[in-house]
Each structure stands twice: as C-alpha cells, then as structure tokens.
Amino acid sequence: KQEVTQIPAALSVPEGENLVLNCSFTDSAIYNLQWFRQDPGKGLTSLLLIQSSQREQTSGRLNASLDKSSGRSTLYIAASQPGDSATYLCAVLNAGGTSYGKLTFGQGTILTVHP
C-alpha cells in the first residue's frame, strides 16, 4: 500500500527566507507527483505536477523536484512571503497495486511566513 510522508509537519519562517518542504513515498510505481496548496476553509489548489519521467517543474518562485527511484520529492519556495502561508500537500498518482489510478496524499506541511 502506498504511503506518503511529509516533513516537517509545520514550519515557521520570517519573510524573505528560501525554504524546502519534503515528501517521500514508499512505492515508486507512480504516474506523477503533485504539490497542492490548501488555505484554511478552502479546497486544494494545484501548484505543480511532475510526471514520473521528469525530474523537476518550476512555476514562478516554486520549484519541485522528483527522484522516483528513491521515492522523494522536494518543493522549494524562494523568497517566501506572508501570502505563502498555507498547508502544502504532496500527492502521488499510483500506477500499480490496489490504489491504481488514485491519488495518495501526505498529511501536509503547515507553513507560516511571518512579516
């Protein structure tokens, strides 16, 4: 059964810092890995999607990497801003096993960027 773990569970940083969020998964049989953002009381917003054949994706101040063989992904946020405060979720789209075709989510990292 696929398991996704995110570290740290919570992170508080001053504005302007560069930061890294970590995600690991146990089964490398995946189609893609996605990073989502969730604001309090809101749904999820897709930030980046990395296909299994890709190594990284970039969008603005965000850069996500994927090392499928080691089961790891990182989300790098440059020059953090208070508006980046949210919960960040990592999810893998499974390509095998009983969870085929389904997203398995991590528990999330709660990020607070203070002015």
Tell me if 36 sits within 8 A of 48, measured CB to CB: no
Closest approach of another protein to the CB of residue 42, in Å:
6
User: What residue type is 88 in one-letter code?
Assistant: Y
The DSSP call for residue 26 is S
Alpha helices in the chain (DSSP H): none
Q: Where do we find the tokens 């969730």?
A: 38
**CB of 13 or CB of 103, closer to another protein:** 103
Closest approach of another protein to the CB of residue 73, in Å:
16
**CB of 13 or CB of 27, closer to another protein:** 27
Under the criterion CB under 8 A, does residue 109 sit at the interface with another protein?
no
Helix (H) or strand (E) holding 32: strand 30-38
Give the binding site for another protein (CB under 8 A): 31-32, 34, 36, 41-46, 49, 51-52, 89, 91, 93, 98-99, 101-108
